Homo-oligomer: A and B are copies of this chain.
Amino acid sequence: MSISFWNMPKPFVNKHVSVFNFAHIFFVCLTELTVTNKTRTRAVSLSNGSVDVLDLLQGWGSGVGTYDDFNTIDWVREKSKDRDRHREISRKRRQSITALLLSVSDAFSGWLLMLLIGLMSGALAGGIDIAAHWLTDLKEGVCLNGFWFNHEHCCWNSKETTFQERHRCPQWKSWAELTVGVTEGASAYVVNYLMYVIWALLFSFLAVFLVRAFAPYACGSGIPEIKTILSGFIIRGYLGKWTLVIKTITLVLAVASGLSLGKEGPLVHVACCCGNIFCHLFTKYRKNEAKRREVLSAASAVGVSVAFGAPIGGVLFSLEEVSYYFPLKTLWRSFFAALVAAFTLRSINPFGNSRLVLFYVEFHTPWHLLELFPFVLLGIFGGLWGALFIRANIAWCRRRKATRLGRYPVLEVAVVSLATAVLAFPNDYTRMSGSELISELFNDCSLLDSSKLCDYGPLAKGGEPAGNLSEGTVGQAERPAGPGVYTAVWQLAMALLFKMAITVVTFGMKVPSGLFIPSMAVGAVAGRLLGIGMEQLAYYHHDWDMFHGWCSPGAHCITPGLYAMLGAAACLGGVTRMTVSLVVIMFELTGGLEYIVPLMAAVMTSKWVADALGREGIYEAHIRLNGYPFLEPKEEFVHKTLATDVMRPRRSDPPLSVVTQDGMTVEELEGLISDTSYSGFPVVVSPESHRLVGFVLRRDLVISIDNARRCQEGIVGVSRVIFTEHTPVEAQGAPPPLNLRAILDLSPLAITDHTPMEITVDIFRKLGLRQCLVTQNGRLLGIITKKDILKHMAQMANRDPDSILFN
């Protein structure tokens, strides 16, 4: 027995092989008879290795050159395949007008795909916004004009003038009004409370039920999995149509249920599903895993673009946070798709304000350099919260996996949702949805604002400590906090604690759940609190040194809304470790270069603080939790190990299983295949010399031998299998040999045993390798797979190397 260096989940290995039915076999044999010869001659005449040939083999429909589920793709091979396809089209272009048109349509198919993804994602995002808004309002009451109107639309044509009164238009009935007929008092409160909790439970139950029943992949934010998929992993069905449908519906339900979650991460998943589904329309993208990943990178940009109305931020998010392979062509295309999506969303106009962005803010007061101090404080808070949240959430998720908790996901969601609803209703700031809360906190108080947060006392009453107020203009001046503000501060403080606790248990449940909005909400509350504190400090103590020179009495110098925005950015930065993309998203939200410096200060501090407490962002932590084979491009490998320390077989292991280029029979090969579970075998000149010739994949070998045994005449167990260029003449009476050079990869990458692991890791990352052979003085010594590298990295970081589950 030899060691299992390239282990593959057994159940998947033979699935594709076993689906061969009779008709299929017949077809395969027919085509093979005509194709094999052509293939072989081409392979020989062009001496072009296996790459081109693999492509031809694919024509057999035999599955050569495709991948099993939960396996890693070979980027080099995929890109070669695409170049072959492209060459073929370019070659034909000069032959006929049809081919020319085909070539042109091929060139533009990428753009068409982007257009489709943008339109579809924009439309879906708009639909989700509208539906979530309606369902959220349904928890409070119903519209008499038609139950499908949300509160705002219901009161659209109301004649009341002020916003406050218009909000209470007669067409809109709260549940208490409808059932017990009163709008105020204890009974009305109890009825409304009850209805709120019941609706919340219903929505969340429906969401988790749909996820469990129809599309288990639709849960969570999806970003960790998308990162892994983009790095080259295969998870079949993760971006399928069922996932799309169920995720879209359950996202609406989950958001409406009032759970502490957002729709931003899931929107990225939805956009990627759209991307993946549209890929099936074009052969170029359907058949090539590498090309499809380019499209998915663009789709994730689209997701953020529609989530925030920030197309540039979306592209940078995809570049910085999600993508693995992001060529410049993709940059340009993602930008196009992100714009299309943003404009589609705007024309649907779900926020009803014809703004492209989710939280439109406009601040009028410039900030002062001294304010950088509280801004940095917010950054520190954000960093601490981010690091703490990640630890707590991961610990909770581990517990869910390890204990009985994980066996009752529906119950878990119901309990959390009940707790959320019961605790959230009494507090205005937790009762409203996350995005409404953020919107309100970002808002700068104008004089007409009726919100509690803007309930400031009258200007310059007698006896107030403020002295000379003649310079201050009305509405611009700093004012003392009124009773409303004090209530709001209390409620916000409670909301902060509540949100911090509930988000930890919410993220990771079996419902679609994004982290952006809850993280931002936590930060926005903290920021607003600090902002109000600073404002009142400036009002009551403007004679302090720190306010001297820039905050004269009666002037308006502190903008609490700005503090909220910075707090939100800092917390989001702490949790996700986004940097440039976060600043650009926030910049697109506020639309001014003015606040970029405070933003950078807050986000940078937050990242540094959070990194000091733990290197991983929430997405990387979840990737590791799930054991996906993800080679983090940002993490530097800093250890001094060599390739020889990582490669298999180890010193104590049995020798490497190899195939010789002309010394093995079909039977021997079949024995090797059944004795081992490796995904591939190196081919050497002879077992003695161990000089490397090429590499052959198990999957290809199994399929080819199978085909040959069924279709090629004279192939028996003792037939020699050869991988050389020229088929040697066999002795008289011996069965004809089976030449499998067509499936041999003649250009496997090999490194020497002295190659430092830092360089090896770099090579794996940059070239997107699946495995790499190790040689010493020209002799084959061993093999390193991506999984070996991940295990080694885990070991070096004192983590459990067995946490990496897949190939």
- Distance (whole angstroms) from the CB of A743 to the closest CB of chain B: 14
User: In the complex, what distance in Å separates the CA atom of A756 from the CA atom of B312?
Assistant: 37
Which segment, of A79-87, A265-273, A394-402, faces chain B?
A79-87
A55 contacts the other chain (Cβ, under 8 Å)? no
> Which of A24-32, A255-263, A332-340, A728-736 contacts the other chain?
A332-340
Chain B residues with CB under 8 A of A780? 778
Q: Which residues 507-549 in A have Cβ within 8 Å of B in the complex? A: none
Residues from chain B with Cβ under 8 Å of A689 in the complex: 778
Closest B residue to A357 using CB positions:
B593
Chain B residues closer than 8 Å to A80, beta-carbon distance: 756, 758-759
- Whether A449 is near chain B, meaning CB under 8 Å from some CB there, is no
Q: Are B754 and A47 in contact (CB under 8 A)?
A: yes
**Partner-binding segment picked from A459-467, A552-560, A635-643:** A635-643
A48 with B79: CB separation less than 8 A: no
> What is the bound-complex CA distance between A71 and B691, given in angstroms?
34
User: Closest CB-CB distance, A280 to chain B, in whole Å?
Assistant: 25
Segment 757-806 of A: residues with Cβ below 8 Å from B: 758-759, 762-763, 766-767, 775, 777-780
Partner among B579, B633, B762 whose Cβ is within 8 Å of the Cβ of A332 = B579
Interchain CB contact (< 8 A) of A692 among B633, B643, B778: B778
Q: Is the CB of A596 within 8 A of B83?
A: no
Contact A746 B751, beta carbon cutoff 8 Å: no
For A762, the chain B residues whose CB sits under 8 A away are 76, 79, 767
Q: Would you call A331 an interface residue if the criterion is a C-beta within 8 Å of the partner chain's C-beta atoms?
A: yes
Considering residues A600, A644, A759, which has the most beta carbons from chain B within 10 angstroms of its beta carbon?
A759
A307 in the interface (beta carbon within 8 A): no
How far does the alpha carbon of A526 sit from the alpha carbon of B640 in the complex, in Å?
A: 60
Say how far A111's CB is from chain B's closest CB, in angstroms: 9
Interface size class on chain A is: 35 or more
Within 8 Å of chain B (Cβ to Cβ): is A328?
yes
On whether the beta carbons of B754 and A49 are closer than 8 Å, the reply is: yes
Closest B residue by C-beta to A751: B747
Contact with B along A622-652 (1 / 0, CB 8 A): 0000000000011010101011100000000
Tell me the complex Cα distance, A640–B596, Å: 49
Determine if A583 and B335 form an interchain contact, defined as CB atoms under 8 angstroms apart: yes
Say whether A229 faces chain B, with CB atoms less than 8 Å apart.
Answer: no
Contact B638 A90 (CB under 8 A): yes
Contact for A758 among B83, B329, B580, B583, CB less than 8 A: B83
Given contacts A76-B762, A642-B47, A778-B689, contact A755 B750 (CB under 8 A): no
Interface of chain A, main secondary structure:
helix
Contact for A49 among B90, B593, B756, CB less than 8 A: B756
On chain B, the residues within 8 Å of A312 by CB distance are 312, 584, 587
Q: How far is the CA of A763 from the CA of B580 in the complex (A)?
A: 29
A642 contacts across to B, CB distance below 8 A: 47-49
Q: Which residue on B lies nearest to A634, using beta carbons?
A: B328
Question: Which residue in chain B gives the minimum CB-CB distance to A765?
Answer: B766
Closest CB-CB distance, A291 to chain B, in whole Å?
13
Contact of A759 among B76, B591, B777 (CB under 8 A): B76
A103 at the binding interface (Cβ < 8 Å):
no
A749 within 8 A of B: yes
Is A51 interfacial (CB 8 A cutoff)? yes
**Would you give the 0/1 interface string for A328-362, flagging 1 where the beta carbon is closer than 8 Å to chain B?**
11011001100100110000000000001000000
- Rounded to whole Å, the gap between the CB of A220 and the closest CB of chain B is 24
Please state if A580 and B320 are interface contacts (CB–CB under 8 Å): no
Set of chain B residues within 8 Å of A767, measured between Cβ atoms: 762-763, 766-767
Task: List 6 A-B pairs, minimum CB-CB distance, nearest first.
Answer: A691-B778, A747-B755, A746-B754, A766-B766, A49-B754, A778-B778
Would you mind naming 30 contact pairs between A and B with Cβ atoms under 8 Å apart?
A76-B759, A80-B756, A80-B759, A87-B640, A90-B638, A315-B580, A319-B331, A320-B328, A331-B579, A332-B579, A332-B580, A335-B583, A335-B600, A339-B600, A591-B591, A689-B778, A691-B779, A692-B752, A692-B778, A694-B752, A746-B752, A747-B752, A747-B756, A749-B763, A750-B750, A762-B767, A766-B767, A778-B778, A778-B779, A778-B780
Known contacts A48-B642, A76-B759, A319-B331, then 12 further A-B pairs from the complex at CB < 8 Å, ordered by chain A residue: A47-B754, A48-B756, A79-B758, A86-B636, A86-B638, A312-B584, A335-B600, A356-B593, A693-B777, A694-B752, A763-B767, A767-B767
Which A residues form the contact surface with B (CB < 8 A)? 46-49, 51-52, 76, 79-80, 83, 86-87, 90, 311-312, 315, 319-320, 328-329, 331-332, 335-336, 339, 342-343, 356, 579-580, 583-584, 587-588, 591, 593, 596-597, 600, 604, 633-634, 636, 638, 640, 642-644, 685, 689-694, 746-752, 754-756, 758-759, 762-763, 766-767, 775, 777-780
